[in-house]
Amino acid sequence: MEIKFSGVTKIFQPDIIALEDIYFQMEKGDFVYLVGETGSGKTTLLRCITREVVPTRGQISVGGNLLRKINRFNLALFRRDIGVVFQSFLLLPNLTAFENVAFVLEVMGLPPREISDRVSEVLKLVGIWRRRNLFPPQLSGGEQQRLSIARAIVSGPSLLLADEPTGNLDNHTADEIMQLILGINAAGTTVIMATHNEYIVDTYTHRVVEIHRGRIVRDEEQGRYELHGSC
């Protein structure tokens, strides 16, 4: 899924500039790391793509959809093609691991048999099939992150947005999560991953886009983590 930001600025009231004059483009199947300090605007940029946030100025086009013009019904259909791994997981505590993933497909109106097959497959893929009947608070941080990824990819989205998917995880678990995400990308899914994890960015090198105070200050292929904006 192609993404294009053209002169995007977002100002939150009263005068907090979250993003400023962003020009940014991605092609189908690309992998991009978004790096930058806390509060630099990474999450806002991701939320612009899901249209949780509407730019004050500029245009965003995702998969050919001009987001400013999309209506409520089409927005719902558009979001079904985007998988999101939230920074705080946002798993539903009163649903089991299986149900947490299944409800994404229920929303799409798939029949129970197909849901069961697809959820089983994806839980096996992320390695928590045996924990499927446990509730999120009963899972470890790594398992919750895997579950969050399972939920994001179960519908086979064209775009995966991952906000700090390896935050608070040790390097070994982070490696496992990264293998998963790279596998998803290799299957053709476009991936944008916001991260603070220097180890991951430097180990699995890809295009790096650095944001500093709402502006893109670096965009390089096969980049490294080191933050230039803070220098």
Partner 1 sequence: MAAVRYACRDGWRLIVRHWGMSLLTIFTAMSVFFIIGASTLFVLNVKNIVSSLENQLTIQAYLKPKADAKATEKAIKELPFVKETKLITRDMALERLRSRIGEQAKAVMLLGENPLPESFEIKVKNVSQVAETARLLIAIPEVEDIVYAGRVAEKLARVSSFVEKFSIIMLLVAIAASGVVLFNTIRISVYSREEEIGVMMMVGATSTYVALPFVIQGFILGITGALFASLLLGGTYYSAVTRLKEMLPFIPLIESTRLTGKLAFMLICCGATVSLISSLMAVEKFIRKASKPL
Spatial CB neighbours of 24, under 8 Å, sequence gap ≥ 6? 3, 4, 5, 8, 45, 209, 216, 219
Residue 16 contacts partner 1 per CB under 8 A: no
Six-digit token pair at 154? 């179960």
Residue 145 contacts partner 1 per CB under 8 A: no
Stretch of 1-9, 49-57, 164-172, 192-200 lying at the interface with partner 1 (CB under 8 A): 49-57
Stretch of 23-31, 103-111, 126-134, 208-216 lying at the interface with partner 1 (CB under 8 A): 103-111
**157 or 223: CB nearest partner 1:** 157
Q: Count of residues binding partner 1 (CB under 8 A)?
A: 31
Side chain identity, residue 62: V
- Per-residue DSSP letter, 31: E
- Per-residue DSSP letter, 156: -
Q: Which of 198, 37, 196, 153 is nearest to 145 (CA)?
A: 153
**38 or 71: CB nearest partner 1:** 71
Give the CA diameter of the chain. 55
Stretch of 34-42, 105-113, 164-172, 214-222 lying at the interface with partner 1 (CB under 8 A): 105-113
Phi, psi torsion values for 156, nearest 5 degrees: 65, 55
Residue 199 contacts partner 1 per CB under 8 A: no
Find the binding residues for partner 1 in span 72-101 (CB under 8 A).
72-73, 75-81, 84, 90, 92, 94
Residue 170 contacts partner 1 per CB under 8 A: no
**Cis before 14 (ω within 30):** yes
What is the distance between the alpha carbons of residues 10 and 117, in angstroms, rounded to a whole number? 42
Residue 187 contacts partner 1 per CB under 8 A: no
Instruction: Write out the residues near partner 1 by the rule CB under 8 A.
Output: 12, 47, 50-54, 72-73, 75-81, 84, 90, 92, 94, 103-104, 106-112, 151, 155
